[in-house]
Structure formats: C-alpha cells, structure tokens
Amino acid sequence: MQIRQLGFDPELGNRHIGTDYFYLPNRRIIRNTAEKQGQAWVGFMMTAFGLQPGVAATNAKRVTAMNIEEYREFCLSLPGTEERFPFDGDALVFFVMDKMYSLTNVDTFNFINLKCDPERAVVLREQYEYVLPGYHMNKKHWNSIMLDRPVPTNLIREWTRHSYDMVVANLSKKDQEELMRMAGKDGSTGTSKNSG
C-alpha cells in the first residue's frame, strides 16, 4: 500500500485528501461539514480508505477472494446489464435498463456500492463489520461493502443480485417485459444488452 505523509500549511489551513475530506494536525479526518456529520465520518474514512493518523492511503488493499474480473463477469451475466464509466476512468458502474445497481473502483476493487432495501441495509450493517452506509450515495438505500476484509464470495453475489432485483422491481412494466425477453423467459432465445 502506498502512503503519503500529510502536512499542515498555516496559510492554507487544511490539506486536501480527496473530494472533500481533510487531514488536520490534531490527527482527525473531517469533512467540510464534519461537526454536523459527527464522528461516524471519521470512522468511515479510516475504514474505507485504510487511513491511519498522520498518513493517507492512496490504495486500500483488497483481501476478498473475488477479484474484479470475476465480479464483472457475474454482473454481466445478469440480464440487461451494461457496464459504463459515467463519472471517471476508475468508477465502474453496472446498470440494468439504464438504472444503476452497482459501483466499484475498477483499479483497486476495494469496495462495492450496492442498492439495498432500507430495513435490510440496517440489519446488514449491524451484522457485518464490512457493510457500511453507501459511500457518496443515499445512505438509506445504498450500502458499501468494504473488500479490505474477507467478504465471502457468496455474499457479494447475493447482495449484488438483491441490488439488481430491487432496481428491476422498480422498472416500468415495458422495461420489465423487455428484460424478460432478453432473459429468454418469454419463449424467445434472449440476449443480453452487451451481446450486441
């Protein structure tokens, strides 16, 4: 894991780490509105990015057995799935009928954001230390699965399928019928959107 020491410039105040997170000389990671967000953000950032007091990790290490190629293959096996990079060259996003159901970093594969039923999301966060409120997502409806811990492959697949199924359940009837046609459940041969 590469790390870099962060300093403090009295002229600039805080040194920037990521989008809106900062390291302060009092060894805390805070957000611009951190006092509103509370200490939960501090713990999340430490966990999500492998941060230690005084250093910032540029790459958190993945320890989960599943790799990005296997995860990509699984997602693309779900009917109607497309992959895109709508935000930047690192954020790989999987869509079904133009609705997002999974997001991960294609280079580090150290987390996955997945849609989740709000009640189930809370239960999973309490049950598993590697399930956190969705990073940069609506925390009521999204979980982040942290892959710097040994997350069983069957759970990654189960939670990804749950996310996919939640999105499909909210599609229009027309889109659901199109998806069934792609899956071959209407008697046709069926093809995924990726197959051309």
Q: Where are the domains of the chain?
A: 3-57, 68-186
Give dist(CA 91, CA 104) in Å, integer: 6
pTM: 0.64
What pLDDT score does 61 carry?
A: 58
* Cβ contact 62:52 at 8 Å: no
Report how far apart, in Å, the C-alpha atoms of 70 and of each of 77, 107, 118, 142, 180 are: 11, 14, 27, 22, 24
Q: Hunting for tokens 């079904």 — which residue is that?
A: 96
Amino acid at residue number 185:
K
Q: What is the pLDDT of residues 138-191, one digit of tens each?
A: 889 999 999 988 899 999 999 999 999 999 999 999 999 999 998 886 544 444
CA 171, CA 69: separation in Å to the nearest integer? Answer: 28
Q: Are 41 and 67 in contact (CB under 8 A)?
A: no
Q: Report the pLDDT value the prediction gives residue 177, as an integer from 0 to 100.
A: 93
Q: Tell me the pLDDT tens digit for each residue of 89-108.
A: 899 999 999 999 999 999 99
Please, which pLDDT band fits residue 38 given cuts at 50, 70 and 90? very low
Cα gap 39→35, rounded to integer Å: 8
Calpha distance 56→68 (Å, rounded): 24
Query: Looking at the domain that runs over 68-186, which CATH code has it been given?
Result: 3.90.1150.30
Task: Give the tokens for residue 96.
Answer: 């079904």
